[in-house]
Amino acid sequence: MPQAPAYRRVVLKASGEALMGKQGFGIDVSVVDRMAADIAEARALGVEVGVVIGGGNIFRGVAVASKGGDRVTGDHMGMLATVINSLALRTSLVKIGVESVVLSAIAMPELCESFSQRQATHYMNEGKVVIFAGGTGNPFFTTDSAAALRAAEIGADALFKGTLVDGVYSADPRRDAAAVRYERISHERVLREGLAIMDTAAIALARENHIPIIVFSIHEKGGFGSILRGEGHCTIVADEPAAAQQAETARG
């Protein structure tokens, strides 16, 4: 008998850089197609999926500010990049028969619908994949913060953060061979130790709304579905009683 998924409704946060594949810029369609297939697998399990994709493969707003430009304008440009990525993912989902819709925090009716909590919840209740574009619609907030915000607004059971590694480590395992991998860790400890899995605003928002963050490798084919079935490699970031926190396990 198939195992019931661990979560009913989730938000998947993927970086824009993940869409580049081995390219140095832009969108690798094969990578987007693989991501769409992973989302389709989650839908087949009965999980309602919302998606937030960054825009770093096309443009990063902080790049403008770092060279003396206007940060607000730069962030607006970055929001437009997330819309491009969102439209690309919708195209890949539609190709394999998965109903999906893009809702943008910035009004652009010729391209996609505008975001509202009511409409997003309605589409998810219908079983459609909802792709949240345009970040929060405000400068100075990252797409990590947008993902945590949307997760809270739609009542998600978990926020999945796709990264380059298979969980949360005490340091970057690609640079530090002694880095320790955590199986479970609290939001509070992540904030206290400054572990760079998401920006602090996103982690704090998830903590305040009791939303666990599941950190996993976005490049592991089928990894999203495996974790939903209670398998696969990931780190669960969730608040726990003090006794449970003392029993947090780690492995290298």
Per residue in 60-76, pLDDT (tens digit) is 777 777 777 888 999 99
Task: Report residue 121 as tokens.
Answer: 């919840």
Residue type (1 letter), 191: L
Residue 139 in domain: yes
Residue type (1 letter), 140: F
pTM for this model (two decimals): 0.90
As for how many domains the chain has, the answer is 1
Residue 169 in domain: yes
Residue 3 in domain: no
pLDDT score at 102: 98
Residues facing 9 on adjacent strands: 48
Residue 190 in domain: yes
Domain CATH for 60: 3.40.1160.10
Alpha-carbon distance of 51 to 166, in angstroms, equals 19
Half-sphere exposure (Cβ direction) of 165: Cα atoms closer than 13 Å? 18
Instruction: Print burial letters for 22-35: b (CB count within 10 Å at least 16), e (below 16).
Output: eeeeebbeebbbbb
| The CA-based dihedral angle spanning residues 207, 210, 216, 219, taken in that order and rounded to the nearest 10 degrees | -90
* Helical spans, DSSP H, in 5-70: 29-44, 61-66
Residue 1 in domain: no
| Below-70 pLDDT ranges, the chain | 1-3, 240-252
pLDDT score at 231: 86
Question: Do the Cβ atoms of 47 and 39 come closer than 8 Å?
Answer: no
Could you tell me which of 100, 97, 148, 157 has the C-alpha nearest to residue 124? 100
Question: Do the Cβ atoms of 13 and 39 come closer than 8 Å?
Answer: no
pLDDT tens, residue by residue, 233-252 = 899 999 864 333 433 433 33
Alpha-carbon distance of 180 to 169, in angstroms, equals 5
**Beta strand ranges found along 73-128 (DSSP E):** 100-104, 113-114
Residue type (1 letter), 125: N
Residue 93 in domain: yes
pLDDT score at 2: 55
Alpha-carbon distance of 144 to 1, in angstroms, equals 36
Domain span holding position 72: 9-251
Residue 207 in domain: yes
Residue 4 in domain: no
